[in-house]
Structure 1
Amino acid sequence: MVKSKTIVEQIVSRDIEAVIVYESEHVIAFADHDPINFGHILICPTQPYGSFIDLPVAVHDEIQHVARDLYHKIVNKFNPDGMSFIQNNGTCNELSHYHLHIFPRFDGDQFGWVSSELGIQSIDVLRESLAGL
């Protein structure tokens, strides 16, 4: 059975159109088609690594370099109040292909973080939960 290409692989091979802002042999960056705000970019390896831990060090390093460069460009173009970086792994990664989101934030943009029902924890509970790391 032939494995189907990820969306990112389809963008790399130009099977899907995207607004590409950076491309090399190992990394591609393009506009998110459903942006949080204008300037929302996905930075991805050109190969389908599934998670952060799967990335070769050189690819990881290039992604970080591209993120830093795009950070400056996004700030200069959009003058945001802040910037967010988000990277999901496992079943939280809807693309099944490593990708780092970088996007400008603006006061009142309504993007938010929804926490679980755990609530605020004491230092002792946090210490115990992380024992052995």
Structure 2
Amino acid sequence: MSDCVFCGIVAGTTEADVVHADDALVAFLDQRPVFKGHVLLVPRTHVVTLDELPAGLRDPFLATAQRLCRAVVAGLGAQGSFVAVNNTVSQSVPHLHLHVVPRTRGDGLRGFFWPRTKYAAGERAAYAERLRAALASDRPSDR
């Protein structure tokens, strides 16, 4: 869709710090992260909600989400992650996206209030590189 920001990222016409891309999926850093290293995973195909995700993408979507969860731990030193998908309500961009938010004990995240932070100049690219390196060392064939 021409007016979808995530479709623009998938097409390469909208700037983003991509940490993973394959034939079906793209993962990139959230512009307004809950915590630094907050990743969004989207299908290349424009679908709005999880129930619209084609059956053939369900396993790759979840497998890539698992890899991203491991990457925020291995690459960023997080103790775990928060994973979420909004369907329509609270979905700021109407293109299916799964959030992987790095978590540490005592980080202050409570309930469903998602405070946002900002990256300093050049910091977002450094986080993206750390996640790409962690993903490179966690190949799907290893699982």
TM-score normalized by structure 1?
Answer: 0.77
Which of 61, 66, 69 is the equivalent residue of 1:68?
66
| SS across alignment from 2:68 | helix
CA RMSD of aligned residues (A): 1.7
Partner in structure 2 of residue 118 of structure 1: none
Which of 12, 19, 22 is the equivalent residue of 1:21?
19
Structure 1 consecutive aligned stretches of length 4 or more whose deviation exceeds 3 Å: none
Letter in 1 for 2:64: V
Identity of aligned residues (%): 27
**2:40 pairs with 1:42:** yes
Q: 1:114 to 1:42 in 2, by over 3 A?
A: closer
Deviation at 1:91, TM superposition (A): 3.2
Partner in structure 2 of residue 5 of structure 1: 3
Which of 51, 54, 65 is the equivalent residue of 1:53?
51
In 2, Cα distance between equivalents of 1:45 and 1:69: 15
Taking the TM superposition and a 5 Å limit, the aligned residue runs for 1:38-117 are: 38-114=36-112
Structure 1: stretches of 5+ with no match in the other structure: 116-133
Structure ranking higher on relative contact order (CA contacts 8 Å, 6+ apart): 2
* Count of residue correspondences: 113
Q: Mark the structure with the bigger radius of gyration.
A: 1
> 1:26-79 CA deviation, whole Å, 9 max, x = no partner?
111001111111221000001110101000122121111111112112111222
Deviation at 1:5, TM superposition (A): 2.8
Structure 2: stretches of 5+ with no match in the other structure: 114-143
In 1, Cα distance between equivalents of 2:32 and 2:112: 19
In 2, Cα distance between equivalents of 1:29 and 1:78: 16
- Does the 8 Å CA contact 2:83/2:99 hold for their aligned counterparts? yes
| SS across alignment from 2:57 | helix
In 2, Cα distance between equivalents of 1:22 and 1:78: 16
Deviation at 1:4, TM superposition (A): 3.5
